Amino acid sequence: MFTLKNAAVIGVVFALGACGEQGASENASAESEAAAPKPVAEGPNLGVAVSHEDIAAWDIAIGPDGTNLPPGGASAAEAKDLYIEQCASCHGMDGEGGVADRLVGGIGSLASDMPVKTVGSYWPYATTLFDFIRRAMPLNAPQSLTDDQVYGLSAYILFMNGLVAEDQRMDAESLPAVEMPNQAAFFQVYPGNLE
Amino acid sequence: MSKQRDLNTLPAQDLEPVAVGGLLHRRIFLQGGGLAAAAFAAPGLAPGIARAESLDVPAWTKNPEGYFTGYGAPSRFEADVQRGPIGDQNPLYASGPGGIRAPIHALEGMITPNGLHFEITHNGIPDIDPDAHRLVIHGLVDRPLSFSLDALSRYPMTSRISFVECAGNSGALVRPTAVPGNAQTLHGLVSCAEWTGVSLAVLLAEAGVDPKAKWLLAEAADPSSVSRSIPIEKAMDDVMIALYQNGERIRPSNGYPMRLLVPGYQGNMNVKWLRQLKLTEAPMQTRYETSRYSLLLDGGRVAQYKFQLDAKSVIVRPSPGMGMRGPGLYEISGIAWSGAGKVRKVEVSADGGQSWAEAALSEPVLSKALTRFRMPWRWDGGPAVLQSRVTDESGYEQPTREKLIAERGQKNFYHCNCITSWAVDAEGGVAHVYA
C-alpha cells in the first residue's frame, strides 16, 4: 500500500485520475509540513520486493571511498600477462593508447598547451578504474573478468603510471587509498552552472 | 476572398530592413500567408508572374499502384536524408562505441523523427527482451523494488516534448581554425521528441526514499553498463522513465524498452536501456562523469558535474550544402534550445554580429524543447555572414565564440554553445567560418 510515510518523504499525494498538478487532494493539508516541490501521482504499487542477494550480480557500483569493493586482490606483477592478452591490442603494450584511450603518462601536463589526459594524469579516483574495468572491459567481452583479475589490471595501469609499486597488492583497502595526482583539480559545478 | 496583397500595398516599414544585410521584420510572418507570399516574391514583380512550364498529367496520376505497408517509410526521393556517423572509426553498421548525427539541416519544425534521432552508444545497441528486462530501485530506500515493463505500463503516464543533446555536440567550434563542416556534422548531436512514461518521483515514492539519499546512480543494461550520478532534487523534479518516443515504443538505439529522460541535462545522463537506480549519499565518480563529460579548463582545473546544457541556437537553412539560388527573398530557418527552460528570443545577424534583428518563433515554445525560429532575409547577392543568438527565459544569452573561449579555454570541447557563423559567398555557397 501507498502510505502517508511515503508521502512525507516525497511530497503531496493526489488521486490517480486527477488532472496534472492542479489535483492536490485533501491529503495536501495533512502533509503541508513536508517541503514538497511537486505533487506526486499515486501509482498502482506494482514493484516487487527484491533482496540484496537478488540483485548482487547487478550491484557492482563502487564508491570513491571504496564502498562495495569485493574481496580479493592482485598486484601489477601478477596481471602483466593478462594486460598484454586482454588490453594491449587496443590500449598499447605500455598503455600508450591505440584505437582506445591512452592510459599512461601526461602527469603534470594538464595546465600546459598540450594536455595529455590519461588515467594517471586526469582520473581523480582509482576506484573508478576498478568499477569501469569490471563493468565494461574488455570491450568484446564485458563482465568476463574475475574480481582478482580486475584488481590486477587496476594495479597494472596504476603501476605503469608510477602510482603504485609493481608488487603492491590492490584490494578493497589499498585501492581507495591510492593518491591520484589530479584529484585536487576537480571541482563540482552542480548545483551551480559554470556560466 | 483572397487576402493576398502585392508589394505595392504593403506598409512600407514591413519591407524595410531591420538590420544590415537585408534582414526584414518578422512582422511579415504575422500578417497572413498572402502578405508573406507577396514579400517573398521577386522585388518589383506581382506574385505569380513567373511562368510555369506546360503541365502534363504524370504517370503517378494514371497508375494506381501504391500499396499499404505495415510500417511506413519516407519517399524514395528522400533517401539522402540520413544520419551521419561520427568520424572514421564509427561507420554505419558497425557495432561497439560510436555515434550518429541527426540531419538537422534537412528537418523542419521541432520534432525529430525517431529514425533520425541522434545516437551515442558506448558499446553497441543491446537487443533487449522486454519481458525479461527489469528496472530495480535500491540503495538508500525503504523497500528495494523491481519493476517489469508490464508493471510500469500500468502506472500513470506523463508526456513532454524535450530535446536531448550530447554534451559533446558542437565541440568542433573550440578548434583553432573553422572546420569545413555543416549543420549536421557540427551540431547534429541534438534531437527533440515527445517522450511518454512514468514520472520517476512516483516510483521513488513507492520505494520510500531514505532522507540520507542525495544522489542516485542510473545504470544501463548495455555492454558498457553506462552509469551516471544524478542529484535527487532533479530526480524528484522532472525526470521520467520514458517508455515511448513520439508515440511508439522507444527504438533499440534510443534505449528500448526504457530510458531515463533528464530534461535539459547532459545527454549521457538520459541513461538508455535503464535497468537500475541506486540511491546514494554522494555521486559515485563513474568513468562517464570523471574521465568523460568533465571540462578541462585553462590552468588545469576540471569542472565536474556541470549538468545543464546552456542555451544554443544554429541556423540550419541556409547552411553549408544548403546554399542560395540567386538574389531575392529567403526564409532563414533554425533551431534554438536551452536546458534552463524556454527560449525567450532569437536574434539573427547577416553581417557577422554587427547588427541583429529578432526572429519569429514558431509555436509552441516549450521548456527544454527545440524551438524553431524564422527570419525573412532579402539576399542582395553579396557576401554575408549569418549568425543566430538565443536568449532563454533565465536571461542567459548565447555567447560568442571569443567569449566562451576566454572563459573556458580550448582544451575542452564539452558544453560548447557559442554562436555559429555561416559565410555566404557571391555564388550563394555557404561555409562554416569564424567571424
Mean pLDDT score of chain B: 92
In angstroms, rounded to a whole number, what is the distance separating the alpha carbons of residues B248 and B264?
A: 22
Query: Model ipTM?
Result: 0.89
Helix (H, G, I), strand (E, B) or coil at B206: helix
Share of chain B above pLDDT 90, in %: 84
CB contact under 8 A, A47 and B206: yes
Strand order in the sheet with B84-85: B84-85, B98-101, B119-121
- Rounded CA gap, B435 and B352, in Å? 6
Reported as a single tens digit per residue, the pLDDT across A147-189 is 999 999 999 999 999 999 999 999 999 999 999 999 999 999 9
CA–CA dist B420, B400 (Å, integer): 8
Cβ contact B138–A43 (<8 Å)? no
Q: Which backbone phi and psi does B227 adopt, to 5 degrees? A: -135, 140
Residues 6+ apart with CB under 8 A from A83: A153, A156, A157
The answer to whether B388 and B359 are in contact (CB under 8 A) is yes
Helices A127-136, A147-160: axis angle to 10 degrees equals 130
Residue B170's pLDDT band, with cuts at 50, 70 and 90, is very high
Give phi and psi for B352, each to the nearest 5.
70, 30
Chain B: give the shortest CA distance to residue A1, in Å: 9
Asked if the C-beta of A55 comes within 8 angstroms of chain B's C-beta atoms, the answer is yes
Mutation target among B215, B217, B225, B390 for the A interface, most CBs of A within 10 A: B225
d(CA B262, CA A38): 16
User: Could A189 and B154 be called an inter-chain contact, meaning their C-beta atoms sit closer than 8 Å?
Assistant: no
d(CA B191, CA B186): 13
Closest CB from A10, A46, A190 relative to B147: A46
Which of residues 146 through 175 in chain A touch B, CB cutoff 8 A?
none
pTM tops 0.80, yes or no: yes
In the predicted structure, residue B356 carries a pLDDT above the cut 80:
yes
Which residues in chain A are contacts of B339 at CB distance < 8 A?
none
Confidence (pLDDT) at B89 = 54
Residue-level pLDDT at A12: 35
Between residues B377 and A3, the one the model is more confident about: B377
Q: Which residue of A has its CA nearest to B124?
A: A139
Determine, for residues A47 and B201 on separate chains, whether the beta-carbon distance falls below 8 Å: no
A195 pLDDT higher than 80: no
Nearest CB neighbour to A55, from listed B136, B208, B299: B136
Strand, coil or helix: what is B164? strand
Report the b/e string of B255-277 with b at 16+ CB within 10 A: bbbbbbbbbbbbbbbbbbbbbbb
Q: Determine whether the interchain pair B300/A55 forms a contact, defined as Cβ–Cβ distance below 8 Å.
A: no
Q: Helix crossing, A76-86 with A147-160: angle to 10°?
A: 100
Count the residues in chain A: 195
- Whether B30 contacts chain A with CB within 8 A: no
**Interval A36-72: pLDDT, tens:** 557 788 899 999 999 999 999 999 999 999 999 999 9
- Tell me the shortest Cα–Cα distance from B208 to chain A, in angstroms: 5
Point out which residues pair with B384 in neighbouring strands.
Answer: B424
Lowest-pLDDT range of A69-73, B19-23, B221-225, B315-319 = B19-23
Q: B291–A122: do the CB atoms touch at under 8 Å?
A: yes
Residue of A nearest to B212 (CA): A9
* Cβ atoms B238, B260 nearer than 8 A: no
pLDDT, tens digit, 9 for 90 and up, residues B97-114: 889 999 999 999 999 999
Rg (CA), chain A: 23
Query: In the prediction, which pLDDT does B30 show?
Result: 60
How many Cβ atoms from other residues are within 10 Å of residue B49's Cβ? Answer: 10
Alpha-carbon distance of B342 to B363, in angstroms, equals 12
Which three three-digit cell numbers place residue A28?
495536501
Band (pLDDT 50/70/90 cuts) for residue B28 is: confident
Q: What is the pLDDT of residue B15?
A: 61
Q: How many CB pairs under 8 A join A and B?
A: 198
Instruction: Write the Ramachandran bin of A56: left for phi over 0, alpha for psi from -120 to 50, otherwise beta.
Output: alpha
